[in-house]
């Protein structure tokens, strides 16, 4: 068995295995869940429909993850699905009397990220019946997604999304969002901000809000307030404009 080279990113050594999936739509949705988080190794063990990859429902749910769906391998037993892996996790909503240690998705993701020599499989069960005990007992751990005790059974693809997301977050905890979020102007310089504070102080003195002889902690407090906001140049200019008008009004 070829073990992964050290420092192989988790994206290249985590396999998603779906056992006896009934609905082709779920297979497509799992492909999508995987691709959005950067994973691509998908293995189907005896799907109910042998041509699940071409099923229109699968194609529709895969959306832009058609490549992951097309690349899915179909095998006839769990042994083939786990070939090449040295770590397997059964993903199950049900806790059992005889079970490997129970982990959360987060602890699993942290473990696999930290151990670069693991080629891991996460094994999901059928929509109605879950995973057979025999498969669970073959796995190193059982991953349970903590959920509402009154209804803890997630949709298959949504369970896969949780695992894919946690695995990505463990590898890239500080990653920026995929694109720019909202509008950002230029960050104001320290000199601009200093000038704005002086201007504001003048204005507050002019309307007797600030007593120049007994300023207490007003300016330090205002500075701390603004320091939390990551001021932009345009915002500094607006604040100076306000200070200007206060000064003009106070002189009348
Ligand atoms: N009635 C089935 C639930 C199947 S849901 C059962 O009792 O197991 C289909 C698959 O989604 C499950 O086999 C499991 O792999 C995953 N899943 C759903 N909810 C989960 C949860 N809370 N924790 C872990 N896996 C879950």
- For the stretch 119-161, pLDDT in tens is 999 999 999 999 999 999 999 999 999 999 999 999 999 999 9
3-state secondary structure (DSSP) of residue 195? helix
* CA–CA separation, 167 and 107 (whole Å): 10
Instruction: Work out the pLDDT band at 65, boundaries 50, 70, 90.
Output: very high
* CA–CA separation, 118 and 10 (whole Å): 9
Q: Which two tokens stand for residue 176?
A: 């920026």
* Residue 18 reports pLDDT greater than 90: yes
Which residue blocks in the chain are alpha helix, DSSP H? 24-36, 56-62, 66-70, 78-81, 105-114, 133-138, 156-171, 190-206, 218-227, 233-251
* CA–CA separation, 81 and 219 (whole Å): 65
Q: What is the pLDDT of residue 131?
A: 98
* Residue 7 reports pLDDT greater than 80: no
* CA–CA separation, 121 and 42 (whole Å): 10
Q: What is the pLDDT of residue 189?
A: 87
Pairing of strands 87-91, 73-75: unpaired
Mean pLDDT score across all residues of the chain: 94
Q: What is the pLDDT of residue 180?
A: 64
Q: What is the pLDDT of residue 178?
A: 66
Q: What is the pLDDT of residue 179?
A: 63
Q: What is the pLDDT of residues 176-230, one digit of tens each?
A: 776 666 778 889 989 989 999 999 999 999 999 999 899 999 889 988 988 888 8
φ/ψ of residue 192, rounded to 5: -60, -45
In ligand 1, the atom with minimum distance to the C-alpha of 90 is 15
Residue 21 Cβ contacting ligand 1 at under 6 Å? no
184 C-alpha vs ligand 1 centroid, how far in Å?
42
Residue 130 Cβ contacting ligand 1 at under 6 Å? yes
Q: What is the pLDDT of residue 181?
A: 67
Task: Please compute the mean of the pLDDT values over residues 232-239 and round it to a whole number.
Answer: 92
Residue 196 Cβ contacting ligand 1 at under 6 Å? no
Residue 75 Cβ contacting ligand 1 at under 6 Å? no
* CA–CA separation, 29 and 98 (whole Å): 31
Does residue 188 contact residue 235 with C-beta atoms inside 8 Å? yes
φ/ψ of residue 36, rounded to 5: -60, -25
55 C-alpha vs ligand 1 centroid, how far in Å?
23
Instruction: Work out the pLDDT band at 6, boundaries 50, 70, 90.
Output: confident
* Residue 115 reports pLDDT greater than 90: yes
Q: What is the pLDDT of residue 205?
A: 94
* Residue 34 reports pLDDT greater than 70: yes
Q: Which span out of 28-42, 168-182, 207-221 was modeled with the highest average pLDDT?
A: 28-42
């Amino acid at each position: 068995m070829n073990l992964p080279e050290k420092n192989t990113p988790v994206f290249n050594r985590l396999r998603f295995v779906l056992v006896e999936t009934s609905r082709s739509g779920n297979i497509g949705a799992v492909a999508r869940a995987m691709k959005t988080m950067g994973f691509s190794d998908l293995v189907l063990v005896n799907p109910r429909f042998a041509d699940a990859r071409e099923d229109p429902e699968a194609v529709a749910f895969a959306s832009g993850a058609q490549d992951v769906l097309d690349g899915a391998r179909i095998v006839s037993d769990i042994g083939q699905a786990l070939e090449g892996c040295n770590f397997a996790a059964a993903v199950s909503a049900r806790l059992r009397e005889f079970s490997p240690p129970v982990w959360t998705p987060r602890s699993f993701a942290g473990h696999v990220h930290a151990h670069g020599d693991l080629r891991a499989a996460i094994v999901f069960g059928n929509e109605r019946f879950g995973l057979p005990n025999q498969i669970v007992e073959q796995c190193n751990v059982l991953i349970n997604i903590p959920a509402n005790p009154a209804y803890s059974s997630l949709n298959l693809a949504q369970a896969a999304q949780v695992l894919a997301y946690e695995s990505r977050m463990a590898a890239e905890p500080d990653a920026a969002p995929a694109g720019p979020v909202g509008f950002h102007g230029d960050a104001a310089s320290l000199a601009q901000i200093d000038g704005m504070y002086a201007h504001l102080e003048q204005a507050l003195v002019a309307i007797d809000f600030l007593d120049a002889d007994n300023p207490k902690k007003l300016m330090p407090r205002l500075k701390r307030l603004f320091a939390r906001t990551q001021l932009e140049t345009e915002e500094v200019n607006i604040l100076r404009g306000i200070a200007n008008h206060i000064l003009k009004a106070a002189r009348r």
